[in-house]
Amino acid sequence: MDHYIDIRLLPDPDFPPAMLMGALYGKLHRALFDLEANDIGVSFPDHKTGVRARTPGDRLRIHGERARLDQLMATPWLRGVGELVDCSGISTVPSKVKHRTVRRRQFNTGSPSRAKRYARRHDIAQSEAQELLRAPAERRIELPFIQVGSRSSGERFAMFIEHGQLQGQPTTGPFNHYGLSREATIPWF
């Protein structure tokens, strides 16, 4: 992970930043899926946490080796959002940076489909399952999230993003088609 690309959302009077980031991130997900990429990671350098402020920010940073980022950018994945973003060129990661994981966190948000699955799995009534899941769902989630759609299942969901603790050394490993990983780190600067 020695190179990166910064993509910043431009202000738009018609669409809120969260909607634009969802569209941009969805396009990146489709491109990573189509490329079968497990060696490209993402981070959100301007993210904010907290119940009232949780946002991924207006900048998406894509990390990888130069050749792989060249391959990604040679695809037309930015078509349709290119006029809504400012995309930097491929740059070298600064020396002496920290590293961190950027991963998906899943929470019980109390969705009806979750209660239905829980009821089916435990052979109880759906109303009873909803009651059992109510307390965990009322917890306040402080992580930023992006509304995305899955390329494989077609489902739309809120993807909560957690930036892990800073580390002195990088850790290698695979990234998923959202550019996230539980083990692998990205450079943080």
* Contact partners, residue 2, CB within 8 Å, separation at least 6: 65, 66, 92, 93
**Is 29 a known active-site residue?**
yes
Spatial separation of the C-alpha atoms in residues 58 and 40, rounded to whole Å: 20
* Contact partners, residue 26, CB within 8 Å, separation at least 6: 148, 149
Chain Cα centroid distance, residue 39: 15
Instruction: Please compute Rg for the chain using Cα positions.
Output: 18
Q: Which of 29, 47, 99, 163 is catalytic?
A: 29
Question: Which burial class, exposed, middle or buried, applies to 69 when counting CB atoms under 10 A from its CB (0-12, 13-18, 19+)?
Answer: buried
Spatial separation of the C-alpha atoms in residues 160 and 180, rounded to whole Å: 11
Spatial separation of the C-alpha atoms in residues 132 and 64, rounded to whole Å: 43
- Three-state DSSP at 70 gives helix
Catalytic residues, by residue number, are 29
